[in-house]
Amino acid sequence: MARWWRYVERAFEGLLILLVSVMTLVCLAQVVWRYVFNDPLIWSEELSRYLFVWIGYLGAWVAWRRRQHIALDAVLLLRSAALRRLSAIMVDGLVLGFCLYTAWGNVTLMGISGSQLSAVLQLPMKWVYLAHTVMAALISVDILLGWSTGGRLPAASASAATVTPATSI
């Protein structure tokens, strides 16, 4: 299962790179068409906005996976492996609950707005809204796989000595 998940991770990282590249090219094309040809592209702003939404949600998943989100490290300063492990389980549980709850709400939103089309591209808005559900599913699977393999939690033997508290003057 972990091997399969690595393929999924690589595929979504590739998708993220592709989305950033396309958004960059679309924005560059808009600048060229507006200032060189004096004929702005009417669809470029909307497409780049929706690409940015997907980039933001997939980027949030990548940050979660790499443990690069903003966090409080006060528990690490306690030098207790048991507290670090308990804290990691609590954080993962809260994030998992949040992801499942918001994904459920987002699926409901997609059902309600299923026939809504974007203004210029006439793209069904459920494809834009799907970004949140994909992110929540990726984070949820990552947490559940981590719990089943023990791979996401900090090791109980991890030394807190690597974390140096601020010294007082």
Reported confidence tier of residue 165, pLDDT bands at 50, 70, 90: very low
Inside any domain, residue 167 = no
pLDDT of residue 132: 97
Averaged pLDDT of the chain? 87
User: Which alpha helices (DSSP H) does 2-124 contain, by range?
Assistant: 2-35, 44-65, 81-112
Q: Is the pLDDT of residue 150 over 60?
A: yes
Q: Is the pLDDT of residue 162 over 60?
A: no
Query: Tens digit of pLDDT for each residue in 77-119?
Result: 777 888 888 888 898 999 999 999 999 999 999 999 889 999 9
Specify the number of domains making up the chain: 1
* Inter-CA distances, 52 with 17, 27, 128, Å: 12, 11, 10
pLDDT of residue 72: 67
Inside any domain, residue 165 = no
Q: Is the pLDDT of residue 123 over 60?
A: yes
Inside any domain, residue 163 = no
Inside any domain, residue 99 = yes
CA distance 118 to 124: 6
Inside any domain, residue 93 = yes
Domain that holds residue 49: 2-69+78-156
CA distance 44 to 52: 12
* Inter-CA distances, 153 with 8, 67, 87, 149, Å: 21, 11, 9, 10
Helix (H, G, I), strand (E, B) or coil at 168: coil
Give the DSSP H or E segment for 135. Answer: helix 125-149
Inside any domain, residue 168 = no
pLDDT of residue 12: 96
Q: Do 114 and 126 contact (CB within 8 A), yes or no?
A: yes
Inside any domain, residue 49 = yes
Inside any domain, residue 166 = no
Nearest CA to 67 out of 145, 150, 139 is that of: 139
